[in-house]
Structures are given as C-alpha cells and as structure tokens.
Amino acid sequence: MPFELSDTQRAIRDVVRDFARREVAPGARERDESGAFPHDLVARLGALDAMGITVAIEDGGLGLDTMTQLLAIEEVAAADAALASIYTAHLLALEVLTLGATPEQRRRYLVDLANGSKLAAFALTEPDAGSDVGSMSSVAHRDGDAWRLRGEKTYISNAAEADVLVVFAKSDPAAGFRGISAFLVRRDSPGLSFSSPQDKCGIRSAGTYSVYLDDVMVSPEDVVGELGRGASLAMRALNGARIDVAAMANGIAARALQLATQYATSRHQFGEPLRDFQAVQLMLGEMDARLEAARVTASWAAAAKDAGGDLRRAGSIAKWTATEHCAQIVDMAVQVHGGAGFMRESEIERLYRDSRILRIFEGTSQIQLLTIASALAATFDETSEVVA
C-alpha cells in the first residue's frame, strides 16, 4: 500500500488475505464455470466479522473506518471478483440502513446484516430505468396503513439469496424523483419472486436476477427514511458504495499486475525473460503506476466519507479512476501474456471478463464524469478569480 496502515487495519487485512488465498482463490475458476452461488464463502465472511466493518458496534458491526473496509474488499476481489461483487452489493444495502433506518429497523435488520448472519440486496434498477431513477415504474399503493408494491426490478445482485431486499418504488408517482420511497422486503414475502440467475459475461457466481413485485405487502414500520426521500437515500448510499467498487477494481488490478509480473519472469523469448524487454517493462511500470494512483484516490475518498463530507464528487472520482485504471491494467496484463492470456484456462482471461462490469454498475463511467463536472461547476462560479 502507498500509505501507512494502522495495526488494526493491517490485522484485518491479513486475516481476510489469508482467507481469500486459502479458501476463495482455489475454487474461483470452478465457480466461474458453474455459476454456483458461494453460500459457504459468504457465511465465512460473516464469521470473520467482515460483513459490517464500518457499521457501529451497537448495530452489530465493528465500528471501524472506511479504509479498513476497502482493504478487506481488495483482498477478496484479488481472489475472486464474483465474491467481492456479492460482498459490495450487501454493503450497498447496508449503506441505506445506516443512513436512514430507525432504531427499531436497526435492531430488527441491521444487526443481523452487519454481523453476517443475514445477507442483503439493493433493488433499484428496472428494465427501463437505470441511471434515470426518476423514470422507474414500480409503484407502492396505500392499503390501509400498509403499502402494496407492484413492479419489476432487474440486474439485482444477491436478490434470490438475500434475507432482506431494500426495494425502491414510487409512493407518489406524480412526483417523479421526489415521489420514490425505500422499503424493506423480506425474501419470504408473498408476491415476491425472482427470475433464474441471469447469464453474465463475468462475475458469474455472483447471482443477479429480475425481481417481480406482485402485490407485495409492506408494513409502515418497514419504510426506510421519509416517504418520498427514497431516491435521495439511494443516491447517498451509491455515493458511498462507489468507493467500495473502487476497492474491488484495485483488487482485480493488483492480481492482474501480479500475474503479469510472474509471467514476464517465467516466460522466455530469444533466450531472455520477457521482463528484460523494454516494451514489457513499460507496460509493467504503467500498470504499477495506475494501481497506486487508484489506491491513493480511493483512500482520499474513504477519508472524505469518514469526515462526513459530500461524497458526490469524491465517490465518483474514486470509482472512475479505479475502474478505468483497472480496465487498462487488466488489458495490459493480457497483452503481456500474449496468446496465453486469451485462453479460457488462463486466470487473466477471467479477470478480463470480471473487470468489464465495473465501469457499468453503481453508475457508468460517463455518469461519474457528469457528476464530477456538476460538482466542479458548483465550486467555480463565473466570478471566481483564476490564480496562475
């Protein structure tokens, strides 16, 4: 790491690293081929107290800083990006609860989610509503004191395996973005159903599903935050979760750099190892520089989060930097491997497929740049003086 770690951070990183290398990495290829959800590994993350690192102790977590969570995510991602995707999707749902849950909701839901005995999902995206959250068609109608949910979500990570889903629907359809509310829906709720796991290019053992809401009844006690403030709650949660995605990208990139360096050392051409050729050295040097820059940026964003700052800019910069650098690093690692990197039996081929989604979910790279530009415009008005 390009910065000093505390004893606690180092200890947790080492515990998760040992778990990832001994238990996660050996079966990653087989899980990629089968698409089987790794229930046992998710349970082990809970047993390691890794599922709620930043959640307050009284709410079932460890009460530690965001940087510690990033270290854990990076180690998991270096071993298996699919498990890291399950992990970060769970943490995204937890972000909503930490931001908006009542004390009773924290007791009923957050404690078990943070200690890893239960799994969560975040259900926002719809077939016709991705980045444009206000265009969602899922609705929540009053039914006495309760709510009746109808609609469809898609590309929802963990949905069929989660014990509870944070579902967003319009409680006031006429109000658009400001008419969306957040609801806690238990997996065994009548009227809630799921598609088969969606067949994906990468992170194949991290199940994603369409979610069908057919008159799902939700009690008033399971509304998260204020009515009509659900979209704002979702955006705030995503701002924080984008830093987690940055850590996931850094983990994949770190593994790609390791594989490329190892291959360049062992592979010989013209009687010399590849690492002695300047063209390969240039690629390895660029990969290392990109990775460290992404790590520093993620660390900066993590500090901003813990300081209670506005994460719209910092979260977007962290995600854009890490995911775009990850794409370049993995691509160069394939190039170092040559034809061997294009073969299905190569680990770098799996990393190439796994890394592609990072520039799409939790907001595309283009959405991140628009968010950054918007924050920039708010920072510098027309009367700002340019200082040379």
Active site residues: 362
CA–CA separation, 63 and 159 (whole Å) = 26
CA–CA separation, 348 and 84 (whole Å) = 17
Q: Going by C-beta distance under 8 Å and a sequence separation of 6 or more, which residues neighbour residue 290?
A: 253, 325, 328, 329
In three-state secondary structure terms, 344 is coil
The count of other CB atoms within 10 Å of the CB of residue 69 is: 27
- The neighbouring-strand residues paired with 327 are none
CB 342 within 8 A of CB 72: no
CB 154 within 8 A of CB 127: yes
Residue with tokens 């390969």: 280
Count, residues in the chain: 388
CA dihedral 246, 252, 255, 260 (to 10 degrees): -110
